Amino acid sequence: MDISNLYFTTANPILLYTQVQPLLSREKSLLLINNHYSMDFHFILTLSLIALTLFVLKNKARTKRLPPGPWKLPLIGNLHQLGDSPHKSIQRLSRKYGPMMFLQLGAVPTLVISSADAAMAIFKGGSGHDVVFSGRPNDLCAAKKFSYNLNSISFAPYGDLWREMRKIAIVELLSSKRVQSFRTVREEEVAEIVKHIASTSSTVNLSKLSMLLANNVVCRVAFGKKYGGDGEGSGGKSRFDAVMHETQVLLGEFFVSDYFPWMWWVNKFNGVEARVEKCFKELDKFYDEVIEDHLVPTRSKLDHEDIVDVLLRLQKDPSQVISINNQQIKGILTDMFLAGTDTTASTLIWIFTELIRNPACMQKVQAEVRKVATGRHKIEECDLPKLNYLQLVIKEALRLHPPAPLSVPRETTEDCIIGDYEIPAKTRTIMDLRSIGTDPKYWENPNEFRPERFMNSSVDFKGQHFELLPFGVGRRGCPGSNFAIVLVQLAVANFCNQFDWELPDGMSVEDVDMEEEIGITMFKKTPLCLVPTRIL
């Protein structure tokens, strides 16, 4: 019998004793047993300490590789620190923990980018990280539903389908030529809103009129006609204003399952799933109605193709790399509505909110517009390039009030290293566009509304200047910013050409509420109501 093998393989001292007893005296056996336990204890203790040390060092090293972030609670991580206004909480935390901040939101590891330099490190040409940060989370409840199971440009995962849909958007739907073809639509709808304002002898709700304008333009551009409810173009609510607004609110709302996927059942009990289903059914019914209308052979054709016409034509085109089905058409239409209505309306309102709070800026815009108009009642799109100060005002409003300040969340597709930090795959990424636009390294007195800061500056909002990214950056940047901006320019120019604007009696500049409504697009929470005085 090999006693050494017996020692290393036997953990039972009684068995050990009975096996070695015939070979050794009782005293020697007991001594061996004691030595076995003594050596075994120290051996196991030593191994345990080594393993524990390696584990601590490994995790310490890994923690050092992640960007800094606030202390986390068990299970919920940093969710409790987001509060009722996540964009404000994230901005506050970023000031403390730095321009690249790591949060654990429930089960979701999250990276927050909040400075121009951090954005540049990821997206600047040649960095190679743009592709890695071009993914989208595939488990966001509302996004998955309203994008028709991720069949949209905004929410499709990075890959062949997304590339083809984005190509269709850039080449077919939102090209300069296509945007220009809708010029008449924009001018007619702005004229309708101006006419309505002129007929009002009291306070007008600019928030309501801005949404109506954006909805009417997008309806005509996308569907070929307005689908209005109470008084198309007369200040009434567009038929789909409510459903589209509810859609954007739901896309920005908190869903437990977005952070704890195994708790999907909670959505059934707290009412949010029912809200999503109700809103989605109304939206889907409308899309079916529009598509059926476009397939009627006797339907009268417009001077130009609307977006549904284009998509249905591409659906029949055998040369297309991917076959477009109705689900994808509906997903793209949702993109068009959300990107074309909410961002436009919200930008218009924040521009006028800042102008009414800064009368000197309002007067400069009006003087410039009226000089270009030379007594004409209407500013046309061909006049817009001459309105230099107006362009500065729009840039400054977008800097302070990016339409979607936390952007649509991205997700890393693989592990990568950014500077000193290791970013794991499947990390949800938030671009804090407001913090980027108010980065004190690039902006003097960053919280002041001062359009003059853009004089003699080449900085623009098209995604090439990392200190100003209101429409995002990289492959996932918004492809339709030009579509929205030209309508904003035209509306502001015409509103300022024909009217002087004042706050209602009893209100001062300090009384203007700047609180924001929660959602992907940040609307002014309290409607902007102003008193117009017609001068033409």
Binding-site residue ranges for heme = 478
Identify which of 214, 493, 528, 522 has the alpha carbon closest to the alpha carbon of residue 362: 493
Cβ atoms of 215 and 244 within 8 Å: the answer is: yes
Show the CA angle centred on residue 516, arms to residues 398 and 226, nearest 5°: 75
Phi, psi of 153 (to 5 degrees): -65, -40
Distance in angstroms (rounded) separating the CA atoms of residues 427 and 450: 36
Strands, E assignment, 159-291: 204-205
CB 383 within 8 A of CB 493: yes
Beta carbons within 10 angstroms of residue 464's beta carbon: 13
**Nearest to 87, CA basis, from 467, 345, 525, 433:** 433
225, burial (CB in 10 Å: exposed 0-12, middle 13-18, buried 19+)? middle
* Strand order, beta sheet including 100-105: 100-105, 108-113, 428-431, 410-411
H or E element at residue 308: helix 307-315
Are 494 and 190 in contact by the 8 Å Cβ rule? The answer is yes
Neighbours of 288 (CB within 10 A): 12
Which residues contribute to the annotated binding site? Answer: 478
- Residue 329 near residue 312 (C-beta atoms within 8 A): yes
The structure tokens 């019998």 sit at 1
User: Angle at Cα 201 formed by Cα 393 and Cα 514, nearest 5°?
Assistant: 40
Nearest to 390 by CA among 357, 359, 355: 355
Encoded tokens for 72: 């986390």
Contact by Cβ (8 Å): 259, 107: yes
State how far the Cα of 494 lies from the Cα of 186, in Å rounded to an integer: 12
**Measured CA angle at 485 (ends 484, 490), to 5 deg:** 105
